[in-house]
Amino acid sequence: MPEIQDVEISEFVQKYIEPIAGDSPAGSDASNEEEYFKLSMEIPKTSPDYKKCIEFSEIILKQKSKDIKVAAWLSFALFRTEKIKGLKDGLNIILNFLKKYENNLFPENPLHRSKAIQFINTSRFFKLVEKEDINHTNASDIMEAEKNLIQIISECQRLFPDNIPVLKSLKEIISDQAEKAKSLITPSKKEEPVKETIVGEESESKIEVTPSGKIEESQKPQQVTTQTSSTLKEIKLTNEKDAVAQLRQILAFFYENQQPATGDGVKKEKIPENHFVFGLARQLQWSKITRPPDSEKITQIEPPNQVIRGKIKEWFTNSNWDTLIPRIEISFLKANSEFPYWLDAQRYITKALEQKGGIYIQASEDIKIHLAKLLQRIPDLHQLIFKDKQTPFADEETIKWINEEVKSSLSGGKGAESIILPPIMGEDYDPINKEYETACNELPGNFEKNYSEMQRGINSDSRKKGKFLRKLNLANYCIQAKKYELAEVNLNELKALIEEYNISEWETALCTAVWQSLYLVNAKLISEGNGELKTILENRQKELFGKIAKYDGILAIKLQQKINN
């Protein structure tokens, strides 16, 4: 990645990053402060009062706590009030918090800090950025915003190596907008090759990179030169087929080590420093795949070479990631390759990237997401067999990996498709949600034991919110166990509490979670029932849909689509 110059800190941003008065420059945990509570209730609304959000954030960040979650919320509020300039300032505050306060930021748990930054990559945020019109008045601001975001990503990789927040969507959109800005500010010129000669020495060497990626020299250099940039020869593309072939060559170039060849004359392959190449390769190769014809699951696709399959397994067993990763990717990128169908290779490379860590964690997540999308389109692809009648597209270990890790990647994590996730309530309530997820993972076993333990947890919790959350988790646990009548009883009790104490005015997320679960339960009971009960439940569904839509219209639409499907 090219070096990015530090962005100038405005007086507005400087006031936010000044230390908190007192013994601790980063202040203290503000999650129990009144302003924090009000802000956390305001920001999830469909149409928040952004001026209030900025007001609450200012009090917290300047006087009480350097909280990265609040900074992320502030960046959204600034963007909604001041457009691209606000986006630039908000990202600059986040960047300087990360640089200046590092691991002293709040929340104290690094995983929670990482997740807090993830907020700026939500569709609610980046889709609005995408809609912004870029013109001469805001061109410099979006370019500064891009610099801020690039540095934020770099700081996240440094501070959260084990849990790097994925900011890919926002990064792509801001980069696209910045490109528009650059075209407004700088007229396009035909790029010329630039060479820098070491002072006092001359060279007659001219070096160009051909479309095939080979380095050619027109003359042997008489003295040493330093090549600062190289240019691809002008390529004339006459059709999409040529363009795809060229794109395939460009992606393969990332795996070629441009250092001089070793004594045997062979250049070593390498792992790209740019993790986005892995996702692009899968978009290129998998976008054209259709379900191959089969006879009793046996297709006419030849399996990958047996020797290379054996070598890949050997490299994987020996943790030889630097050889395994480029070999799989180069084979995957070839035209008419069988590797796009051999899903075992995707497991091998994903596990290898996870072991490499750092920026490659994001690359592994990209691969899983693209594979999940492919399997959405061709649901039984992993059940097919190659032409030799004995090599499956996916072996048992890969099928297990697909079910446990890949299919859940589109919904945000392990178990996200199979388990109804509880609302995020803060660190104090995380143990309750972990108990719930553990119980769900044990199903269909231990239902009575876990149900009794969860009931005892409700009775022993002295916190009203704790009791409420435990009751909701108990109801959702019944849904997972297909005990719908039992779930309905618990959910109706919670619904009555919401109405009696008007809880929806200050605990929107918690109440929406109750209505969502009850909506799903009623839909199941309607599908199994008839007569008068069915009519009653259908009327209740209309009421629930209205409540959900009031606070989260997107969720209401998704629920309706899920029921219809």
User: How do residues 117-151 score in pLDDT, each as one tens digit?
Assistant: 999 998 889 999 999 999 999 999 999 999 999 99
pLDDT band per the 50, 70, 90 thresholds, residue 421: low
DSSP 404: I
Q: Following DSSP, what letter does each residue of 496-555 receive, concatenated? A: HHHHHHTGGGT-HHHHHHHHHHHHHHHHHHHHH--HHHHHHHHHHHHHHHHHHHHH-HHH
Element (DSSP H or E) covering residue 392:
none
Q: What's the mean pLDDT in 437-454?
A: 87
Using omega within 30 degrees of 0 as the cis cutoff, is the peptide bond preceding 107 cis?
Answer: yes
When pLDDT is averaged across residues 523-529 and rounded to a whole number, the result is: 83
* Measured CA angle at 410 (ends 404, 411), to 5 deg: 85
The pLDDT of residue 4 is 46
- Kindly state the average pLDDT of the residues 32-56: 88
At 196 the pLDDT is 38
Are 209 and 215 within 8 A, CB to CB?
yes
pLDDT above 60 for 231: no
Which of residues 197 and 458 earns the better pLDDT score?
458
Report whether pLDDT(59) > 80: yes
Q: Which domains does the chain have, with CATH numbers?
A: 11-185 (no CATH), 192-233 (no CATH), 276-411 (no CATH), 427-564 (1.25.40)
pLDDT score of 81: 95
Say if CB 67 and CB 61 are below 8 A apart: yes
Q: Does position 504 have pLDDT exceeding 60, yes or no?
A: yes
Between residues 190 and 557, the one the model is more confident about: 557
Structure confidence by residue, pLDDT tens digits, 329-354: 998 988 888 999 999 999 999 999 98
What backbone torsions phi and psi does residue 109 show, to the nearest 5 degrees? -70, 120
- For position 235, what pLDDT does the model report? 52
Q: Highest mean pLDDT: which of 57-61, 251-255, 327-331?
A: 57-61
When pLDDT is averaged across residues 279-308 and rounded to a whole number, the result is: 90
Higher pLDDT, 379 or 81: 81
Above 60 in pLDDT, residue 267? Answer: no
Comparing 421 with 271, the larger pLDDT belongs to: 271
The pLDDT of residue 77 is above 90: yes
Residue 501 has pLDDT above 70, yes or no: yes
Grouping H, G, I as helix, E, B as strand and the rest as coil, residue 142 is helix
The whole-number pLDDT of residue 532 equals 78
Mean pLDDT of 537-545: 90
SS3 label, residue 232: strand
And the tokens for 13?
């941003």
- Per the prediction, the chain carries an average pLDDT of 83
Quote the CA–CA distance of 333 and 339 in Å, as a whole number. Answer: 8
